[in-house]
Chain A
Amino acid sequence: GESVGLHLPTLSVQEGDNSIINCAYSNSASDYFIWYKQESGKGPQFIIDIRSNMDKRQGQRVTVLLNKTVKHLSLQIAATQPGDSAVYFCAEKRGGGNKLTFGTGTQLKVEL
């Protein structure tokens, strides 16, 4: 069926290391992907997005990679900081659609 899923429910990294959070999707009709960060008790906060006609996009300390061949999306966070600790969700939008379909989330824990 159509789904967006995350490989790892929890990721622990040392402060200063790079983090990689992965996401799989199954619908080849998806044309837009987005990563959100959600801190406890707060709403999803936009991090970075990418369209299906791209395979890489960079922001400040974050990079999103899209591999359409294997339907895989990843979020890379450089020099991870304690403030990066949160749940990270990937979400996708199907072409011509309006809604976002979210994955189950990955808890990122940054250890000092």
Chain B
Amino acid sequence: EPEVTQTPSHQVTQMGQEVILRCVPISNHLYFYWYRQILGQKVEFLVSFYNNEISEKSEIFDDQFSVERPDGSNFTLKIRSTKLEDSAMYFCASRPSGGTDTQYFGPGTRLTVL
């Protein structure tokens, strides 16, 4: 069964450094998402992406964040200058076009900012 994959599984970085989290959505899906989950808290929406542009973003997704689909398979989340409070699990999700709202999640990347 096709799955969303994410790399790396764990990323440790120093405060102020840039990180890029990578995702490979399910191959025939057209809508892509990033969510995050701070330890012990609920999953929070960051951004949705469709047709090579952001379709919706939350207030969390400020100018330090960006997303990109650099090729036909990858979907990335970049944080330009990480803060301590960016430490969280970051989940990528995807869904196919039309007829379903079901989003399928990847295993996540644990980001630790020191």
Residues of A at under 8 Å CB distance from B?
32, 34, 36, 42-46, 49, 89, 91, 93, 97-105
Q: Are B105 and A43 in contact (CB under 8 A)?
A: yes
- Cα A104 to Cα B44 in complex, Å, equals 10
Residues of B at under 8 Å CB distance from A?
4, 6, 31, 33, 35, 41-45, 48, 50, 55-56, 58, 91, 101-108
Check A100/B42 contact, CB under 8 A, given A43-B105, A43-B107: no
Check A32/B101 contact, CB under 8 A, given A43-B108, A98-B56: yes
Residue of A nearest to B3 (CB): A43
With contacts defined as CB atoms under 8 Å apart, how many contacts are there between chain A and chain B in the complex? 51
Residues of B within 8 A of A44 (CB): 43, 91, 105
A selection of 15 A-B contacts at a CB cut-off of 8 Å is: A32-B101, A42-B107, A43-B6, A43-B106, A43-B107, A44-B43, A44-B105, A46-B105, A91-B43, A97-B56, A98-B55, A99-B33, A100-B43, A101-B45, A102-B44
Q: Min CB distance, A31 to chain B, in Å?
A: 9
Residue of B nearest to A97 (CB): B56
Q: Min CB distance, B35 to chain A, in Å?
A: 8
One of A43, A97, A103 near B91 (C-beta < 8 A): A43
Most buried by A among B35, B48, B101: B101
Q: Are A99 and B105 in contact (CB under 8 A)?
A: no
Residue of A nearest to B92 (CB): A43
Residues of A within 8 A of B4 (CB): 43
